[in-house]
């Protein structure tokens, strides 16, 4: 049997592995949309403890659009780690790793290998890419290949060689689903052409998935200015809630109003634990039973602050934590998983020293 650095080519694996990899670009502080669309789900998976979790700080992917001012990135990596810690992601748990994307050399190599089997046409058909290209026609090559590069993020921690019962789950917002469909195609193609190396990943889209902004128009986003950040103070939250868009036809407390598409109610449904309270407010608003926008916003601001308080407290505690050590440890674990994957790919693609 061929050996690489003295190891058998495919040491028999007996125990299936269940792994989760997901990530965020480190482009800014996180907000409530990140929480309902991603972090809430990540935390649930972490706490259930059935999966080895790799949470990726995608600083390389951040450069696909933020290469102009890279010195900002160091600060942003730290901010995102603090946001993660504040919501309760916990790298002290034995199943949880925070991984800094740029510090995994094996990942770049895997990305390059995937570029060789990804077809230009299929990348160009990617709907998210197309949409973003319209917004920024001067996209870099790094940007154009990011769906391929993202497949390398996912598969660098693939159990290998795959055996029955292995799982590779990727919890993401729905905007990421086309990328993961493509990542599945790439793994299937590679395995078929060269022999089994990768476990095909599966996307896992959370219950809510997406949160409208305070303006009610678009997805919550810091750059649009319609976001409530996880690190916002009570005063800032109160002010932002006061300015929220509601139902424009609800001109007085006695006019029946819409709650379905009304961002104030969308947030109440997402963050108010007291379902009876939400039901009562909804009923009164729908029927024009005297519930004004100011009153319902006061309730929402209170509930949001109750939700954010423990997050704020944890943030204060973690300000003193050694972020670097957390990242070094998690990144090391990711590399331990990535090394056998890259070795297998080299063997299959014959990028090895000739005998
Ligand atoms: N593209 C994702 C985002 O915009 C971040 C990301 C990078 C990611 N690598 C990943 C998500 C791998 C899931 C799996 O937020």
pLDDT string in tens for the chain (355-residue length): 444 454 555 557 899 999 999 999 999 999 999 999 889 999 999 999 999 999 999 999 999 878 888 888 889 999 999 999 999 999 999 999 999 999 999 999 999 999 999 999 999 999 888 888 898 888 889 999 999 999 999 999 999 999 999 999 999 877 888 999 999 999 999 999 999 999 999 999 866 567 999 999 888 998 899 999 999 999 999 999 999 999 999 999 999 999 999 999 999 999 999 999 999 999 999 999 999 999 999 999 999 999 999 999 999 999 999 999 999 999 999 999 999 999 999 999 999 999 8
Architecture, CATH, for domain 3-210+323-349:
3-Layer(aba) Sandwich (3.40)
C-alpha gyration radius of the chain: 23
**What is the b/e burial string over 51-82, where b = at least 16 CB atoms within 10 angstroms of the residue's CB?**
bbbbbbbbbbbbbbbbeeeeeebeebbebbbb
Would you state the pLDDT for residue 6? 46
pTM listed for this prediction: 0.93
Q: Is the Cβ atom of 26 under 6 angstroms away from ligand 1?
A: no
Would you state the pLDDT for residue 209? 65
Atom of ligand 1 nearest to the CA of 179: 1
Distance, CA 263 to ligand 1 centroid (Å)? 26
Chain region(s) in the chain for CATH 3.40.50.620: 3-210+323-349
Q: Is the Cβ atom of 203 under 6 angstroms away from ligand 1?
A: no
Q: Ligand 1: which of 145, 176, 206, 209 to mutate, judged by most atoms within 8 Å of the beta carbon?
A: 176
Nearest to 35 by CA among 99, 103, 83, 1: 83
Would you state the pLDDT for residue 90? 98
Q: Is the peptide bond before 161 cis (omega within 30 degrees of 0)?
A: yes
CATH number of 222-316: 1.10.240.10
Distance, CA 24 to ligand 1 centroid (Å)? 5
Chain region(s) in the chain for CATH 1.10.240.10: 222-316
Distance, CA 23 to ligand 1 centroid (Å)? 5
Q: Is the Cβ atom of 111 under 6 angstroms away from ligand 1?
A: no
């Amino acid at each position: 049997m061929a050996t690489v650095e003295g190891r058998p080519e495919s040491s028999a694996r007996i125990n299936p592995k269940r792994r989760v990899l997901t990530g965020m670009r480190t482009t800014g502080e996180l907000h409530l949309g990140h929480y309902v669309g991603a972090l809430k789900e990540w935390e649930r998976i972490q706490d259930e403890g059935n999966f080895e979790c790799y949470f990726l700080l995608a600083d390389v992917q951040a450069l696909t659009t933020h290469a102009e001012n890279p010195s900002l990135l160091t600060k942003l990596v730290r901010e995102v780690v603090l946001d993660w810690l504040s919501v309760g992601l916990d790298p002290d748990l034995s199943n949880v790793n925070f991984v800094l994307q740029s510090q995994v050399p094996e990942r770049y190599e895997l990305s390059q290998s995937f570029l060789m089997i990804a077809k230009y046409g299929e990348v160009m058909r990617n709907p998210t890419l197309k949409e973003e290209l319209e917004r920024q026609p001067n996209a870099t090559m790094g940007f154009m290949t990011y769906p391929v590069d993202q497949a390398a993020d996912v598969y660098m921690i693939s159990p290998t060689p795959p055996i029955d019962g292995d799982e590779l789950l990727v919890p993401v917002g729905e905007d990421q689903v086309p990328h993961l469909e493509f990542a599945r195609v790439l793994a299937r193609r590679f395995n078929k052409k060269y022999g089994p190396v990768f476990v095909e990943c599966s996307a896992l889209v959370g219950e809510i998935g997406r949160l409208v902004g305070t303006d009610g128009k678009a997805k919550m986003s810091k750059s649009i200015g319609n976001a409530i950040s996880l690190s916002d103070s009570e005063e800032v939250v109160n002010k932002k809630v006061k300015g929220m868009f509601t139902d424009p036809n609800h001109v007085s407390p006695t006019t029946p109003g819409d709650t379905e598409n009304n961002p104030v109610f969308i947030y109440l449904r997402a963050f108010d634990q007291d379902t009876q309270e939400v039901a009562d407010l909804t009923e009164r608003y729908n029927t024009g039973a005297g519930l004004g926008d100011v009153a319902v916003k006061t309730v929402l601001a209170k509930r949001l602050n109750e939700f954010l308080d423990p997050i704020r407290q944890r943030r204060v505690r973690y300000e003193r934590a050694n972020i670097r050590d957390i990242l070094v440890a998690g990144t090391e674990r990711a590399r331990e998983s990535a090394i056998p994957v890259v070795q297998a790919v080299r063997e299959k693609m014959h990028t090895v020293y000739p005998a």
